[in-house]
Amino acid sequence: MNRLRGGLVGRVLLVGLVWLIAYPLAVVLLESVRGPGGWTLEYFRQFLGRTGDWQALWGSLWISLASVLLSAAVGIPLALLFWRYEFPGRRVLGVLVALPAVLPPLVGVIAFLFLYGETGFVARLVQALFRLEQAPWRLEGAMAILLVHGYSMYVYFYLLVRAGLAGLDPAMLEAAASLGAGRARTLRHVILPLLRPSLAGASLLTFMTALASFSAPYIFGGGFRVMTTQIVTSRLNGDYGTAMVETVTLTAVALLGLWIIGRSGETTATAGGMKGTGGGIRLQTSGLTRVAVTTISWLLVLGLLLPHLTLVLLSFVPIGTWTVETFPPVYRMVNYLALVRDPERLRPLLNSLWMATAATVIAVGAAVLAGPLVTRRKSRGGAAIEGLLGLPWVVPGTVFAIALATAFSVHQPWLGRVILIGTPWLLPLAYLVRNLPITSRAILAGFRGLDPTLDEAAASLGAGRWRTLREVTLPLLRPALSAGAALAFVTALGDFVTSIVLYTYDTRPLSLEILSSLRQGDVGVAAAYGVLLMVLSALAFAAGRDRRTVET
């Protein structure tokens, strides 16, 4: 009877996931080879013949690879610095420097715009200093995209490398030292090889994020083409066949990247347990080194956080009060008040909140249902569920948005297709799909960490399935649940990629309101929305991490 119930949950879950995740992608693949007159390769032929598409594909590829290198160049030294040296403020800075991870990409992009853009602070400062007639530069094109990517994606290298370093066996370093290896040799021949899984993971994460990046190329791209923006343009132009082919191509590139980088990270587990004295690792700095390390760290962190501070500053600037001055002359609360008082301004906030909440709750629920099926029984169904849950992570957000828009644009209930486009339901569904990989990854990891004998202990003490779930499993999963929920909520709240394809006026989320405020020249309101997103994201993360982990 139990087995039957487990089987039923599994089947319902599997069908739901196939319908939401695999099916829309299959529809896109089909539509890319189907024209008005039946099966055709016409769209692919057109695609191959267009220079614009080749440029976009090449642009996506090299920007993504360059983003990986740039992020590594910032993130790895930063991680080593915070791991190796003890200096005043190390802990606080170590947390602050990871802050861009909690920020929605669009917020990062506009913050960058306000700081380094044509009319940003730095440009104005340079202009004033050198008494130039015009702005000294325009922030546009590939270099601008790359800068933004490096700025926001170094966090992946920083976080993963720090995690990798934390997992290093200190005895390994002591062994290297006792064998006469100097610091440089230890770094090159011991630390970096041991960090290979972390480095591969960070490279993969950065590559996939850069490949899927939409906000930066959309805002800064100018004439520079990448696949994500190309897809949206094709679709907006009504060029559906082309959009389908572009979508399929981008997915293929993403899968290829996953395969190549994923393979390079495979490594055999290191032998031997951890047994060393942790104290030996961190160098206590003193004198000149201490001053230098501290200064460098503070400056680095300040530089990395400057865009966000800019955003906060600008959120207090009323519209029309800042023209040619280097710094805005007037600071008021009007922008924030407008968000609350003006129903039209409040609307996007409420939209984003309910849609993100709904997507989060369902994603967490699905992951909890999937947990026992995936981690306990070694069934094929469990593997399929886990694969489906992870799939949206591989596929760029733009692709999913197009796939959902395509699959749910016709009424064919017997094919599982209903019209959801234009309804308030499509966007939360899209958020849900995008949330599933991150949420389920956190929650499944939680399930894997559970001691299965606790379930048996509960059963032997007479607790049924429901009581065991409620009083044993869920309380123990709480850290994983809150982490998964926080990640999901923050992602959905700041989503721009899928929103721009799927929103309707009534369901317009925060990100699109930021964009339209920006277009109307209302920098203050855009910044205020951005700060709000920042604060809400930070709060969600704080709530997700605050729960004390239960030690076993």
Partner 1 sequence: MTPFLEVDRLAKRFAAVVAVNEVTLTLAQGQILALLGPSGSGKTTTLRLLAGFETPDQGRILVEGNDVTATRPAERRFGMVFQHYALFPHLDVGGNVAFGLESLGVRGADLDNRVSEALRLVDLQGLERRRVDQLSGGQQQRVALARALAPEPRVLLLDEPLSNLDPTLRERTRREIRALIRRVGITTVIVTHEQEEAFDLGDLVAVMRQGRVEQVGTPEQLYGAPANSFVAGFVGRASALEGTAVESDAHTTRVRVGEAMWSVPSPASGPLRGALTLMVRPEGLRLGPPSSPGVNATVLDRRFIGAEALYSVRLASGAELEVSGDPGAAKPGDSVSLQPTGRGILLYPRSGR
Tokens of 545: 């991490």
Query: Beta 85-86 vs 34-35: how paired, if at all?
Result: unpaired
Least Å distance, CB 472 to partner 1, is 6
- Shortest CB 5 distance to partner 1, Å: 13
Angle (CA) 358 424 233, round 5°: 110
Q: How far apart are CA 496 and CA 104, in angstroms?
A: 8
φ, ψ for residue 238, nearest 5 deg: 80, 10
For partner 1, give the closer residue by CB, 277 or 552: 552
39: which strand partners? Answer: 34
What token pair was written down for 542? 């704080």
Closest approach of partner 1 to the CB of residue 121, in Å = 50
Tokens read off for 383: 């593997």
Q: Which is nearer to partner 1, 32 or 468 (CB)?
A: 468
Q: Between 471 and 506, name the residue whose CB sits nearer to partner 1.
A: 471
Residue 550 Cβ, how far from partner 1 at the closest point, in Å? 5
Question: What letter does residue 280 receive in the DSSP assignment?
Answer: G
Cβ atoms within 10 Å, residue 220 = 23
Judged by the rule CB under 8 A, the positions of this chain that interact with partner 1 are: 2, 451, 453-454, 456-464, 467, 471-472, 475-476, 550-552
CB closer to partner 1, 230 vs 473: 473
Closest separation in Å from C-beta 546 to partner 1: 16
- For partner 1, the closer of residues 29 and 463 by Cβ is 463
Pairing of strands 283-284, 85-86: parallel
CA distance 202 to 221: 25
Residue type (1 letter), 386: E
Q: How far is the CB of 497 from partner 1 (least distance, A)?
A: 38
Query: Whole-number minimum distance, CB 487 to partner 1, in Å?
Result: 22
- How far is Cα 192 from Cα 76, in angstroms, rounded to an integer? 10
**d(C-alpha 203, C-alpha 157), whole Å:** 7
- Paired tokens of 331: 């600071």
Helix (H, G, I), strand (E, B) or coil at 463: coil
Three-state secondary-structure class, residue 479: helix
Q: Are 400 and 248 in contact (CB under 8 A)?
A: no
Smaller CB separation from partner 1, 52 or 449: 449
CB of residue 383 vs partner 1: minimum separation in angstroms? 18
What is the token pair recorded at 354? 């309910």
Q: For partner 1, which is the closer residue by CB, 133 or 551?
A: 551
Whose Cβ is closer to partner 1: residue 467's or residue 545's?
467
Helix, coil or strand: residue 521 = coil
3-class DSSP assignment, residue 338? helix
Number of neighbours of residue 214 by Cβ within 10 angstroms: 26
Who's near 413: CB < 8 A, 6+ residues apart?
none
The residue with tokens 């609360």 is: 333
Min dist. Cβ of residue 273 to partner 1 (A): 18
What DSSP letter does each residue of 12-27 carry, written as one string? HHHHHHIIIIIHHHHH
Pairing label, strands 38-39, 34-35: antiparallel
Minimum CB distance to partner 1, residue 386 (Å) = 23
Report whether 310 contacts 111 (CB < 8 A): yes
CB of 2 or CB of 178, closer to partner 1: 2
**Residue with smaller CB distance to partner 1, 413 or 462:** 462
User: Minimum distance from CB of 4 to partner 1 (Å)?
Assistant: 14
Min dist CB 8 to partner 1, Å, is 18
Helix, strand, coil tally for the chain in percent (to 5): 75, 0, 25
Shorter beta-carbon distance to partner 1: residue 1 or 324: 1
**Residues 208, 312: contact at Cβ < 8 Å?**
no
Q: Which is nearer to partner 1, 277 or 549 (CB)?
A: 549
